[in-house]
Amino acid sequence: MAWLVTGGAGYIGSHIVRAFLAEGIEVIVVDDLSSGHEEFVPTDVPFYRGSLLDGALLERIFVEHPVSGVVHVAGYKYAGVSVQRPLHTYEQNVTATAVLLAAMQEAGVDAMVFSSSAAVYGTPDVELVTETTAKNPESPYGESKLIGEWLLRDQAVAAQLRHTSLRYFNVVGSGDPSLRDTSPHNLFPLVFDALVDGRTPRVNGDDYPTPDGTCVRDYIHVADLAASHVAAAKRLDAGESIEPVYNLGSGDGVSVGEIMTTVAAVTGISFTPEVGPRRPGDPARIVASGELAARDLNWEMRHTLDQMVRSAWEARQKAS
């Protein structure tokens, strides 16, 4: 049996595809390439270009392949921009998920690993976010991810869907130099692009109540994240118990200032970042516990900050 990876041509999805293949598990990819890259999909992996809103396409995939479960990574992932594009965000993240679940039910596919987000928490008022921390999304993107979790929960009642949702924070690094983060909004690509273009990277605020005054966030390596998706799929395939949600977090955190210092050391490009004003609503610290995922999903922080930056920089250089 195989697993379908939606969004499998994207940065995170393509790493998940490779993690499945490394375990000898067959995968199929569907992606509309709105932010993904067809060259990220291995040539021997069946690839369907199209939208999850196309129920007929999904029906064809399930007819043509013996799919046992779906890793649902596809979606509109730009939280900030989602405020200006709420209808598009809900269509891509909520309507598309409903269409996918309907196609799965019709085909008798009853297992899903859902790519959720830390954005469901909004600005938490706790030092360490756990799965039970109050949900207070502050953007259409965060709201759409929480609704996605609700859709899975309700479909489990209606159609015995077996599922789990993985909430992750700041995904960085590369597990393969041919795969890189190409988001126009994420920190690593923004910093690398600035350095390559001869510009000085910028931080937003240096007067937060943190050790160096810059925001502290939970950065996790994409290959570690991918491994836990495979572990979740294996658990579902084996009929083992699984929690409805897991945080993939470090239990610690890294400041933006530390990121900048490490980038300078790894790239050999000396710079002092420009300091801009705080962004409205940016909390000083967001860090999550990964204890539940460590217990059940082989979750582990296997990469140091230096390795995260170095692997991402190598992938960026290869693409230049």
Residue 52 CA to residue 297 CA, distance in Å, equals: 27
Catalytic residue among 11, 48, 76, 141: 141
DSSP-assigned beta bridge partners for residue 168: 117, 248
For residue 141, indicate whether it is catalytic.
yes
- The CA-atom distances, in angstroms, between 225 and each of 11, 47, 98, 204 are 12, 22, 25, 27
Place of tokens 């049996």: 1
Q: Are 32 and 72 in contact (CB under 8 A)?
A: no
Q: Can you give the three-state secondary structure of 16-74, one letter per residue?
A: HHHHHHHCCCEEEEEECCCCCCHHHCCCCCCEEECCCCCHHHHHHHHHHCCEEEEEECC
Residue 149 CA to residue 294 CA, distance in Å, equals: 21
Which residue numbers are catalytic?
A: 141
